[in-house]
Amino acid sequence: MLTKSGQTRLMFCAAVIVAGVAGIGVDRIILAQASGITRTELTRTNVPGSTTYEAIMGIAEIAPGAASGRHFHHGVELGYVLQGTLAVERPDGSIVTYKEGQAFKNPETEIHNAKSSGTTPVKLLAVYIVEKGKPLAMPAPVK
């Protein structure tokens, strides 16, 4: 039988565990399920020689006219356009367009917004070199 103090500690520990487990998937829910966008993680591995970074590879599909919303990554994002036309809005307001067969890089913590600018869905292969334990992507602060 647990004492009142023991019950309180047990409840606190349970709450911390539940919050931690819920938090692990929040980054994927925030951006992965944005309207018109699906993301599929293909693989994840530690970066050799680093105890703080990991590499994550995935496929992102953006429906025609859909956008990721302004966001950033806790590391570098490397992308390759498998299908469609991608427009990436940079922090200075410029828009860079990438077509099928072109590669791109979003530097660490650079705020950007990726949009499908054509009439067909955009399909991307993306590799992220990001800090372990941090969300893969974070919504940018409101201007």
Question: CATH no. for residue 96?
Answer: 2.60.120.10
**pLDDT tens digits for range 23-60:** 434 344 344 445 789 989 999 999 999 999 999 999 99
What is the tally of structural domains in the chain?
Answer: 1
**pLDDT tens digits for range 61-75:** 999 999 999 999 999
Banded pLDDT at 1 (limits 50, 70, 90): low
> Could you tell me the residue range of the domain that residue 67 belongs to?
4-139
- Quote the Cα angle for 105-141-69, to 5°: 55
**pLDDT tens digits for range 73-88:** 999 999 999 999 999 9
Position 14 scores a pLDDT of 41
Selection from 68, 71, 56 nearest residue 109 by Cα: 71
Could you give the CA distance from residue 11 to residue 128 in angstroms, rounded to a whole number? 37
Whether the model clears a pTM of 0.85, i.e. scores above it, the answer is no
